[in-house]
């Protein structure tokens, strides 16, 4: 994509976000054709929304190439956050494991591995990604257009920190999701990506090449452990990861 095409796509997504008037799709003139196109659009969007406060990363299977998105700093909240009416159009939620970094992982000649990432982490958290879209029907548009739209991110809500035992084995980690006090989902190892430290190592190398690397204080969420659940306006949702912590948000 040319710089003009990237700017056109970013402007359409930003306008849809600010006007609450969703797009049917991106026009062919500025639709991303590669992950690199989508990432270039993301960079423009996140810069306009206040800069990078963290990242999301995920993969469809343990063998699949991950994908990612920077998260706008103003759209990262603490557990207990209450969104005002109509702030989130779709009211989708996903229970996720997130990690906050104590040390930066800047560009270097040797690729980062899972051990390098684990040593740089300050804490692990229960988190809830709030799913939203700048498209009328996000499932009707192609995956790269969704990726350009910050991977369908509406916001990230992060629970309190656990600072010991941060190298959580997601494949054995239990999770339970509650809506209005009622349990609606339970699983063990619910993330289709498998080992989330593979994702974190991939992201560390991706961000080093793309944006100067992961920075101290940034939070990274590692993909859904519950699948997306669409809730009614006014619902309160709580994600519990036993041994890690809880996170709550009201929609």
pLDDT digit string (tens) for 145-156? 999 999 999 999
Q: Which helix (H) or strand (E) holds 22?
A: none
30-56: average pLDDT: 98
Determine phi and psi for 240, rounding to 5 degrees. -120, 120
Strand order through the sheet with 81-82: 81-82, 245-250, 236-241, 174-179, 182-188
**Residue ranges of E strands in 10-145:** 52-58, 67-72, 76-78, 81-82, 92-101, 121-131
Query: What's the pLDDT score for residue 53?
Result: 97
pLDDT for position 69 = 98
pLDDT digits (tens, 9 = 90+) for 202-246: 999 999 999 999 999 999 999 999 999 999 888 999 999 999 999
So what's the pLDDT on residue 233?
86
Domain ranges, ordered by start, for the chain: 51-250
| Percent of the chain predicted with pLDDT > 70 | 100
DSSP assignment letter at 214: B
CATH 3.90.850.10 fits 51-250, yes or no: yes
Residues 6+ apart with CB under 8 A from 40: 1, 6, 32
Strands (E) in the chain, as ranges, are 52-58, 67-72, 76-78, 81-82, 92-101, 121-131, 153-158, 174-179, 182-188, 219-224, 229-230, 236-241, 245-250
* Phi-psi category of residue 191: left, alpha or beta, with phi > 0 → left and psi -120 to 50 → alpha: beta
pTM exceeds 0.85: yes
Q: Are 235 and 91 in contact (CB under 8 A)?
A: yes
pLDDT value for 20: 86
pLDDT of 129 > 90? The answer is: yes
- Summarised one tens digit per residue, pLDDT across range 76-117 is 999 999 999 888 999 999 999 999 999 999 999 999 999 999
Cβ pair 131, 149 in contact under 8 A:
no
Mean pLDDT, residues 129-134 taken together: 97
Q: State the DSSP code for 112.
A: P
Sort strands 81-82 and 245-250 into parallel, antiparallel or unpaired: parallel
What pLDDT is attached to residue 85? 86
Q: Is the dihedral of CA 179, 163, 204, 66 positive or negative?
A: negative
> 50: buried, middle or exposed (CB in 10 Å: 19+, 13-18, 0-12)?
exposed
């Amino acid at each position: 994509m040319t710089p003009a095409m990237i700017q056109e796509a970013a402007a359409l997504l930003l306008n849809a976000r600010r006007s609450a008037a969703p797009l049917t799709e991106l026009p062919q003139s500025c639709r991303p054709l590669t992950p690199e196109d989508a990432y270039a659009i993301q960079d423009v969007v996140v810069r306009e929304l206040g800069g990078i406060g963290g990242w999301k990363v995920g993969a469809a299977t343990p063998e699949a190439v991950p994908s990612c998105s920077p998260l706008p700093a103003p759209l990262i909240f603490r557990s207990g956050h209450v969104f005002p009416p109509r702030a989130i159009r779709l009211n989708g939620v996903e229970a996720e494991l997130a990690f906050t970094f104590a040390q930066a992982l800047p560009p270097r000649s040797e690729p980062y591995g899972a051990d390098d990432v684990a040593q740089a982490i300050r804490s692990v958290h229960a988190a809830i990604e709030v799913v939203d879209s700048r498209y009328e029907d996000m499932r009707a548009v192609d995956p790269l257009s969704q990726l350009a739209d910050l991977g369908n991110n509406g916001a990230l809500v992060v629970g309190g920190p656990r600072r010991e035992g941060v190298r959580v084995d997601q494949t054995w980690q239990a999770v339970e999701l509650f809506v209005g006090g009622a349990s609606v989902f339970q699983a063990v190892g619910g993330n289709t990506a498998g080992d989330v430290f593979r994702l974190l190592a991939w992201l560390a190398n991706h961000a080093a090449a793309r944006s100067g690397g992961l920075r101290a204080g940034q939070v990274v969420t590692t993909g859904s452990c519950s699948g997306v659940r669409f809730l009614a306006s006014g619902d309160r949702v709580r994600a519990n990861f036993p041994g890690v912590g809880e996170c709550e948000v009201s929609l």
